[in-house]
Amino acid sequence: MASDRQYSPVDRLLLQADVALRTLLPFSGQPTRPSPAVVQPETELDQQEAKHIAGLMRINHTGEVCAQALYQGQALTAKLPEVRAAMEHSADEEVDHLAWCEQRIHQLGGRPSVFNPLFYGLSFGVGALAGLVSDRVSLGFVAATEDQVVKHLDEHLVQVPEHDEKTRAILEQMREDESHHANTALEAGGIKFPRPVKFGMTLLSKVMTKSAYRI
């Protein structure tokens, strides 16, 4: 996304709406990197394995929908141009993850969660609110959120069979990117959230994961 010198506040709102549509409409996001799964061999999975892995990837896809909304909300209200630029760069990388997860879900015979529009709206609101409070809080929220995502990815990597190299390749690259996003946010001045706040975020993430896995 471009800087404030090029777009008015109304223009930026319209761009945010465009991003929301491209995030939520099937196969609308255009990744800048090819999926890591492309170079991995196709593996035959039984019906139960495919269903379970599709559920895990649906969780990850919804997580990326939330991340995209979070970053867009923060970029809208960030006070410093460099913080806004950092949010927008991270959002661009999340588009890759979004597309990779969606591709894998369809390959496994599944579909994205029907709750994605709801989670997008909630996450956008949280991101915008964090940006309004302060850039340090906004960056700290990014770091805490990405830490949660990394934990989910670690749990999923344990559950994905070793022979499903396509899914594992996607999750491993996502983990690397998300860990980098967390470190970047802290290095940019983000505050470290106290344990009770992180615990609350964990409880909310469980609501998302349980609903997204099934529907």
Tokens of 173: 């690259």
Q: CA nearest 99: which of 128, 133, 65, 122?
A: 65
Q: For domain 9-22+45-214, say whether CATH 1.20.120.1200 is its number.
A: no
Question: What Å distances lie between residue 117 and 81, 137, 138, 212, CA to CA?
Answer: 28, 25, 22, 12
Q: State yes or no: 181 annotated in a binding site.
A: yes
Q: State yes or no: 64 annotated in a binding site.
A: yes
> pLDDT tens digit string along 63-103?
888 888 888 887 777 677 776 676 667 777 778 999 999 99
Q: Is 159 exposed, middle or buried (0-12, 13-18, 19+ CB in 10 A)?
A: exposed
pLDDT at 4: 45
The residues of the chain scoring below 50 in pLDDT are 1-4
pLDDT at 73: 82
Q: State yes or no: 152 annotated in a binding site.
A: no
pTM score: 0.83
pLDDT at 60: 92
pLDDT at 108: 93
Helix and strand numbers, DSSP H then E, in the chain: 7, 0
pLDDT at 82: 72
Q: State yes or no: 82 annotated in a binding site.
A: no
Q: State yes or no: 94 annotated in a binding site.
A: yes
Q: State yes or no: 187 annotated in a binding site.
A: no
